[in-house]
Amino acid sequence: MLCRTHVILSAEYVIKKKFITTYGLYDVERPTIGKLYNRFGAVDSKSHPYKIYFPGYGKNKNGKFKPTEWIYPSV
């Protein structure tokens, strides 16, 4: 619930400040936040159509480290 509240507050701030475009990130393996962004009109960015990762941030799977991949949605 905290995540949803954060997105709603962020959306209200964006509207109040009249931003033209904003970007967010969501974990490719956990697309729920991406779906929430979509409800606010966000789409995957055409300007940044690639996945990104942060070295050292990720998950251990079967004893191997796998970086978490993120996608940029934009409004």
- Please write the tens of the pLDDT for every residue from 15-49: 899 888 888 788 888 888 888 878 878 888 888 88
Q: What's the pLDDT band for 5 if we cut at 50, 70, 90?
A: confident
Query: Domain range for residue 44?
Result: 2-74
- The identity of residue 23, as a single letter, is Y
- The identity of residue 11, as a single letter, is A
Question: Structure tokens of 17?
Answer: 């400040």
Domains held by the chain: number: 1
**The model's pTM:** 0.60
What is the pLDDT, as a whole number, of residue 17?
92
Asked whether the beta carbons of 72 and 37 are under 8 A apart, the reply is no
Asked whether the beta carbons of 27 and 69 are under 8 A apart, the reply is yes
Helix (H, G, I), strand (E, B) or coil at 53: coil
